[in-house]
Amino acid sequence: MTEYTDLLERVVAPDGTGRTVSDPATGEAIGAVLEQDVEALDAAVARAKAAQRSWAALGHAKRSELLNAVADRIEAESEPLAELLSREQGKPLNGPNARFEVGACSAWLRAAADTVLEAETLVDDGQTRAVLSYKAAGVVGAIGPWNWPLMIGMWQMAPSLRMGNTVVIKPSSNTPLSVLALVSIMNEVLPADVLVPVTGNRTVGARLAAHPDVAKVMFTGSTAAGREIIKGSAANLARLTLELGGNDAGIVLPGTDAKAIAQDLFWGAFINTGQTCAALKRLYVHDSVYEQVIDALKEVTATMPMGNGLDEANVLGPIQNKSQFDIVVGLVEDAKSRGGRVITGGSPASELGALFYPVTIVADLKDGDPLVDEEQFGPALPIIRYTELDDAIASANGLDVGLGASVWSSDPAVAREVAARLEAGTVWINQHGTLHPMAPFGGVKASGYGLEFGVEGLKSVAVPQVING
């Protein structure tokens, strides 16, 4: 098996060149990454475009065979990939973190490779026969985030490649090395130029979204950045899948067993130390179980160690970058100034390192408080008391985002009734943020549009064609 250092050596810039990438847990330099420019991006798209027809011509069966072979290679290199990811992103090896993320890469890749998308006969009445099928779009531009760089990158790459597209992938500037390493492993199996990585700043990402030879753009990131992607892609009418910001609400109904849901509530909110688009970010709890839920969450939090991700004992890590750290600090300080009751945490864990912030639960907040209304994207959870269910539902629906939501109840039937009233792309019951490669995932309102995963995900990276006759 490749060692971590061998894997890193494949993708770092030569000594004395590139931009330094640091470990958020320690501040130590990991290596440097090349900062490519728009000309390099144009060359990458040209290579991918030239390779696309022959890749599509291989057919679904051969592409699926190759993608399963790629999954084998990822599994063989899973440990050094997880170590590099932990060092670069900060997430621990254990828990639902680095090893989990690498495992998800191969799982989602196999699911995309093996999912069948059959042609559909729409009309066959003896006079007219219309058949709907899906063909490759062309070159897909994939622009990824820093929170789950490998897994979300695979969500973009796997279905695109499966459908016969070629892919130009630009990782986040915060976490480029782990994505480059993943791509290098994949390219041991894939034909040349089917998958081309490009690094660089936002100018490079903007050019990828606006490139006239890019037929489809997949982007995961902030709503503000998503709007710029839409503007940039307008000239060439590229198809878009946008998974944008969220501020997922959870509603705990009266009569719910607080201890029974506490562990799942915790991970719904604090997976990846809260740095997850579809994490639980504001929790509305009925007055009758309010203090019980707070106490149960406090008990669970006390059992979750935080620290350097390479320490096998830890399951929570640092905030990945200083700008996000500052956002979390600012929102918590504001909540405290408004009378928020700090249940756990509440100030930086500077004894662990510069970017560590402990799990922070702040009770007695209300709609309109910034920690409630603004996406914190970190380990801080506001808890809001309610007495009338209609008010809680109105609050959950009151923001211009709708990625996910959840309902927590000892009565699943009642929970499903409430779930149907929530404005979100996915609503979970007695869980939050759990995903399945065959269950479509996407947002509504300012959380974006387009679906990923399963059959619908394959359709989203293809173009429909109807043959009449």
The packing angle between helices 202-210 and 38-57, to 10°, is 40
Query: Taking the domains of the chain in order of start, what are their residue ranges?
Result: 4-244+447-468, 248-429
Q: For 129-141, write each residue's pLDDT tens digit.
A: 999 999 999 999 9
Question: Which token pair is 82?
Answer: 């997880």
CA distances, 141 to each of 44, 67, 165, 211, 214 (Å): 10, 19, 10, 9, 6
Residues with active-site annotation? 243, 277
pLDDT at position 210: 97
Please determine, for residue 355, whether its predicted confidence score (pLDDT) is greater than 80.
yes
Cα gap 316→244, rounded to integer Å: 24
pLDDT band at 1 (very low <50, low <70, confident <90, very high): low
CA 325 from chain center: how many Å? 19
CATH architecture for segment(s) 4-244+447-468: 3-Layer(aba) Sandwich (3.40)
Chain mean pLDDT for the chain: 97
Please determine, for residue 174, whether its predicted confidence score (pLDDT) is greater than 80.
yes
Please determine, for residue 447, whether its predicted confidence score (pLDDT) is greater than 90.
yes
Q: What is the mean pLDDT of residues 230-245?
A: 95
pLDDT band at 9 (very low <50, low <70, confident <90, very high): very high
pLDDT at position 67: 98
Cα gap 343→389, rounded to integer Å: 24
Q: Is 121 exposed, middle or buried (0-12, 13-18, 19+ CB in 10 A)?
A: exposed
Contact indicator for 264, 433 with CB cutoff of 8 Å? no
Q: What is the mean pLDDT of residues 175-182?
A: 98
CA angle 218, 69, 75 (to 5 degrees): 85
Q: For 88-111, write each residue's pLDDT tens digit.
A: 999 999 999 999 999 999 999 999
Q: Model pTM?
A: 0.97
pLDDT at position 3: 86
**% the chain with pLDDT above 70:** 100
Please determine, for residue 117, whether its predicted confidence score (pLDDT) is greater than 70.
yes
Q: How many CB atoms lie within 10 A of CB 385?
A: 16
**% the chain with pLDDT above 90:** 98
CATH architecture for segment(s) 248-429: 3-Layer(aba) Sandwich (3.40)
Q: What is the mean pLDDT of residues 229-250?
A: 96
| Cα dihedral 224, 158, 404, 96 sign | negative
Q: How many CB atoms lie within 10 A of CB 169?
A: 27
Mapping DSSP to helix (H, G, I), strand (E, B) and coil, where does residue 441 land? strand
